[in-house]
Structure 1
Amino acid sequence: MRWQTFTSGLLLTTATVAEARRSFQHVGKKERSMPHDDGSALAHFLATRQVPEPKFANENTTKFSVNGTGIPDVDFDVGESYAGYLPITDNATDTNELFFWFFPSSTVNNTEKEILLWLNGGPGCSSFEGLLQENGPFVWQYGTLKPVPNPWAWNRLTNVVWVEQPVGTGFSRGEVTARGEEDVAAQFLGFWKNFMETFSLQGYKVYIAGESYAGAYCPYIASAMLDQNDTTYYDMSGMIIYDPVLGDDVVQESTTTVPFVDYHKNLMTFNDSFSEYIHGLHDSCGFADYNAKYLTYPPPGPQPPSYSQGVSDECGSLWGVILDEALSINPCFDVYQVATTCPILWDVLGFPGSIGYLPEGGEVYFDREDVKLAIHADVTHKWEECASGDVFVNGRDTSDPSTWKVLPHVIDSTKNVIIGHGTLDMILLPNGTLLSIQNTTWGGQLGFQSPPVEPFFVPFHTLSTADEIYAETDETALGSIAGAGVMGTAHTERGLTFVSIDLSGHMVPQYAPSAAFRHLEFLLGHVDSLSSVKPFSIEPNYPQPAADTLGNGTGPSTFDTGASGSTADTVSAATDKPSSAASVVSSFVALGGVAAAAMLLNL
């Protein structure tokens, strides 16, 4: 991560943090003396951590109870949790069942009656990827030895359940009958009522979060809950969707890819002839003009409907052509995080980034029999991170994009929706998301009326300073280090917040866990904005900078449509306030956006 510091002396310099990560001896320099990490920080965390008494243990939940000290390879107590199958109807013998793993809040004094649902995308990708490598109570990241406690676990803030859906995803089983998102939502609501009754959660506020294809799942499910007008089971109160599938394929894909390449030119070092070719297409296909016209604040009007149907094959395939060239230069290029280089790190789920890799002797964690037994899964069921079979009839989701109706419904009803996007993501690019927002009507207006320029601030915390990591703390050691400071740009209008996250790829809670933790605090109402300098609720006394020192948001700094010969209007991110709306009106056009490529499965 890139580390930002203040001159107050509270925090370490960038070089000091680098010392904690890699010895300077390789270049003939000596390190300063630093206490040896003998595991004392982790030991202290485990010894002093308070594990709450079970909150949901009763005769209905006993069969779902998971032994917190019996999860394979996890050598610490993860606390109270429940896992298993529940049917998608009120018929207890229904063979169509979704699989879940529920972790109550781990905070001893948390009595809030609320629960958050997490969904991964695909379609057909398991939410247990999110549990194990993003925001669950233990994490097993790419290339690491074993699971470690996750100080950024979302169940430190609220009750969280990870659900594998729709039918055909992960351990979930039955006959695939869904033809579109309406069917997915109806089936999910049947499961959800069973879940709420099983754990006596009636009357709890419900929040939904997810990423990628969950940009379709989450709004449709949330909208269906709102339509029930039943706060006993479906008290929908807010939503987060990361790097989401939202609208027209070409708009989220090829239209914005060339500006994204230009912004990340040091990561995609194309030769002059190829660069000239893709810029020529960007111009001749009309993409430069499209960005210049519609990625503006406020937008001039609705974008052309079914835009992708009028685009030639050569223009529509521009994203794929650029990906092929990127892979020829960097064979380990990862569209989920474009700063990735070789070697490929092994992944206990078998699929690090966009290239599957499981070394000889490695096993897919959730397909192990001992893991299945520990969480009450069917031991005969082959678990895959992303389903090899279809989860929609004929393999096609027939529903309209969520931005047409259901997303506006959720925004207007809850006034509490966050759309986040990692700036290093190319499977779904940031400006595709912004173009989709600018073509969405909510609160009686089309798109954002003002450009996103405000700072997204992540509070400084124990795991943002190497000295404190080496000291005994109440959090884990280097395995869960995470960034702090101004880490992007956030903007809120009429109940919708957009936030870009610097140095994050597609899976925001994985690449920027402290940033995602802050998003959840905002969703739950713990802070009043994403520019707040209020400390994390888990470290309420940790010192923070003054709000007037933050300046503007960080990230893309120029307006550039990517057209050959175009000029860039420089935007200063160092001043306290933008010099004018015109100078920042399209500060994010240096990035781009994507819908899922057929050859890649969105997580």
Structure 2
Amino acid sequence: MRTVIQRAATLSLLTALISPSLAAPTTAHLDKRYVEERGGITYNVFEHRSTGSKMSFVKNSGICETTPGVNQYSGYLSVGDAMNMWFWFFEARENPKEAPLATWFNGGPGCSSMIGLFQENGPCHFVNNQSTPSLNPYSFNNYANVLYVDQPIGTGFSYGIDDVNSTVTAAPFVWNLLQAFYAHFPEYECRDFGIFTESYGGHYGPEFAHYIQEQNAAIEEGDLEGDKINIVAVGINNGWFDSTIQERAYIDYALNNSYRPLINESVADSLYDIYETKCVPALNECISSGTDEACSYADDTCIGNVDTVIYDSADFGTYDIRVSANTTDPPETYVDYLQRPDVMKAIGAQVTYAECPDAPYYKFAATGDDARSFLETLTKVVQTGISVLLWAGDADFICNWIGNYQVAEAVVYSAQSNFTAAEMVPYTVNGTEKGLFKTADNLSFLKVYEAGHEVPYYQPEVALQAFKQTMMDVAIAST
């Protein structure tokens, strides 16, 4: 098992590797700003001496966000040698000088956050398979300034050397990006900050939030130079948190969901037995030993003996059981658009867009990261009192709502007994029922009707309302 001492040592080493100057305070006047041309693209460049990183970006490309007066910035944060992390930042459409700041991370691991930007909650989307995007009236930047990040390196437009092989090793790079972002845009330093993510975000969300809180404490104690990040909210839809809970939930959901059974009772009984005799022992060994080999074996064991049997039992979409397995929904129109040379040049992209490349994923697979539970980390985050929303579309299989609900009920915090005792009640948007939810203190759970894996794509009004309420650092509520 990874002890606190081992984890702290690992993070300390990572911080030293990516931010060698953090231990020695520097002064802001050493930061540098200039213009640079690279690959036919003119960038505004900011060198952040405190973290040793360089931010290169283009401003107001005219791509995606075309609302008059709303600024956008897209480009790279360079950390170390040949490590270039892609970001795309959009100011809020309303009151950007006072609006909070939120980040969005897609999952994978190794899938681009351009998925969320163009298919889910960004300023633009593709309607009826049009070849160019139009404005999204339900964009998250209606309310907040939103930063989309492609991580780890090799994902989306990010390129270079990828040293990240787990969720824990990913967190320092994200923190480093935020530090450089604050240094260049100091007006956001004191704003409320939120992390929103999905899918493998069940790993990312808790760990990134917890790491930020740890860094905040170190800054507070004078042990670290940097800007404290005023994190107030975490939102994770259809997340993958804990294999022990969610592997069994695959069987529960396949047998009994809102749409159609994917297996019969006989298959379910067999799978429950296999889960207990093969999957659980392997996961327990992963938990107790913490080795890459044990956790990789556990992941393979559960997938091979439980998941695959369900997939072979019926024709259904992994991310939306209402469609067949070979249906692509949402459409992938945006990929062709982002691969256009004129679009790439306009936004400052140096490499061809790759939505979910294999290389970053296999690094995580080699360490068994998928099988490692982040329920304890999620619990620590909830216990700090910030607003946490776990939500899930009811048509998604891969990170289904039953597993997400059971994870929410397993969070140990001061109001856990109230949360588990509470009944789910209708969640309405302007009087129309869109799901079921419950909340106790700072933890909320929401089951969204008629929604697959990418909830904001299927139910944009619900997503925007839940996002706004959580970013306000309050429990979600019907309107």
Distance 1:423 1:305 in 2: 32
Q: Deviations over 1:153-195 (max 9, x none)?
A: 0101010011101111111122111232221111111111111
Contact 1:440 1:447 in 2 (8 A): no
Per the alignment, residue 246 of structure 1 pairs with 241
What is the identity, as a one-letter code, of the residue corresponding to 2:319?
Y
What is the identity, as a one-letter code, of the residue corresponding to 2:375?
T
Q: CA deviation at 1:443?
A: 3.2
Mark the runs of 5 or more structure 2 residues left unpaired by the alignment: 1-43, 47-54, 221-226, 288-294
Contact 1:86 1:98 in 2 (8 A): yes
Q: CA deviation at 1:306?
A: 5.9
2:412 maps to which of 435, 441, 448: 441
* Greater strand proportion: 2
2:60 is the alignment partner of 1:80: no
Secondary structure of 1:317's aligned partner: helix
Contact 1:438 1:447 in 2 (8 A): no
Q: Deviations over 1:353-400 (max 9, x none)?
A: xxxxxxxxxx6222221111110010xx23111012125647434554
Higher relative contact order (CA 8 A, sep 6+): 1
1:122-133 residue pairs with structure 2 within 5 A?
122-133=108-119
Q: Which has the larger radius of gyration?
A: 1
2:355 is the alignment partner of 1:385: yes
2:93 is the alignment partner of 1:103: no
Provide the alpha-carbon RMSD of the alignment: 3.5
Distance 1:311 1:95 in 2: 32
Per the alignment, residue 346 of structure 2 pairs with 374
2:306 is the alignment partner of 1:334: no
Q: Deviations over 1:431-457 (max 9, x none)?
A: 112222333323385894314412212
2:309 is the alignment partner of 1:321: yes
Secondary structure of 2:389's aligned partner: strand
Per the alignment, residue 220 of structure 1 pairs with 207
Distance 2:383 2:258 in 1: 39
Contact 2:259 2:395 in 1 (8 A): no
Distance 1:67 1:443 in 2: 47
Contact 1:143 1:347 in 2 (8 A): no
What is the identity, as a one-letter code, of the residue corresponding to 1:217?
Y
Q: CA deviation at 1:430?
A: 1.4
1:279 maps to which of 268, 279, 283: 268
Q: CA deviation at 1:317?
A: 2.5
Q: CA deviation at 1:494?
A: 3.8
1:118-157 residue pairs with structure 2 within 5 A?
118-140=104-126, 143-144=129-130, 146-157=132-143
1:1-400 residue pairs with structure 2 within 5 A?
63-68=57-62, 71=63, 79-88=70-79, 94-107=81-94, 109-112=95-98, 114-140=100-126, 143-144=129-130, 146-200=132-186, 201-229=188-216, 230=219, 232-248=227-243, 250-253=244-247, 255-264=248-257, 267-268=260-261, 275-282=264-271, 284-285=273-274, 317-327=305-315, 333-341=316-324, 344=327, 349=332, 364-378=336-350, 381-390=351-360, 393=363, 395-397=365-367, 400=372
1:462-481 residue pairs with structure 2 within 5 A?
none
- Structure 1 residues 264 and 374, CA, compared in 2 at 3 Å: closer, same or farther? same
Distance 1:334 1:132 in 2: 21
Contact 2:109 2:364 in 1 (8 A): no
Q: CA deviation at 1:266?
A: 5.3
- Structure 1 residues 447 and 118, CA, compared in 2 at 3 Å: closer, same or farther? farther
Q: CA deviation at 1:86?
A: 1.0
What is the identity, as a one-letter code, of the residue corresponding to 1:252?
Q
Normalising by structure 2, we get a TM-score of 0.75
Contact 1:348 1:364 in 2 (8 A): no
2:477 is the alignment partner of 1:531: yes
Distance 1:443 1:185 in 2: 27
Contact 1:179 1:398 in 2 (8 A): no
Contact 2:382 2:442 in 1 (8 A): yes
1:507-518 residue pairs with structure 2 within 5 A?
507-518=454-465
Secondary structure of 1:389's aligned partner: helix
What is the identity, as a one-letter code, of the residue corresponding to 1:234?
I
Secondary structure of 2:467's aligned partner: helix
Q: Deviations over 1:268-297 (max 9, x none)?
A: 5x6xxx72531331454477xx9xxxxxxx
Q: CA deviation at 1:256?
A: 2.6
Per the alignment, residue 403 of structure 1 pairs with 375
Count of residues paired in the alignment: 405
- Structure 1 residues 500 and 76, CA, compared in 2 at 3 Å: closer, same or farther? same
What is the identity, as a one-letter code, of the residue corresponding to 1:390?
P
Contact 1:84 1:101 in 2 (8 A): yes
1:416 maps to which of 384, 387, 392: 387
Contact 2:389 2:444 in 1 (8 A): yes
Contact 2:130 2:333 in 1 (8 A): no
- Structure 1 residues 373 and 346, CA, compared in 2 at 3 Å: closer, same or farther? farther
Most deviating of 507-516 and 333-342 = 333-342
Q: Deviations over 1:490-545 (max 9, x none)?
A: 1112421111101111111111111111111211228x543332xxxxxxxxxxxx
Q: Deviations over 1:66-89 (max 9, x none)?
A: 332xx38x8876942110001236
- Structure 1 residues 366 and 315, CA, compared in 2 at 3 Å: closer, same or farther? closer
Normalising by structure 1, we get a TM-score of 0.60
What is the identity, as a one-letter code, of the residue corresponding to 2:463?
A
- Structure 1 residues 195 and 392, CA, compared in 2 at 3 Å: closer, same or farther? farther
Contact 1:133 1:140 in 2 (8 A): yes
Distance 1:306 1:448 in 2: 29
- Structure 1 residues 170 and 63, CA, compared in 2 at 3 Å: closer, same or farther? closer
- Structure 1 residues 311 and 278, CA, compared in 2 at 3 Å: closer, same or farther? farther
- Structure 1 residues 416 and 111, CA, compared in 2 at 3 Å: closer, same or farther? same
- Structure 1 residues 204 and 95, CA, compared in 2 at 3 Å: closer, same or farther? farther
Distance 2:298 2:156 in 1: 37
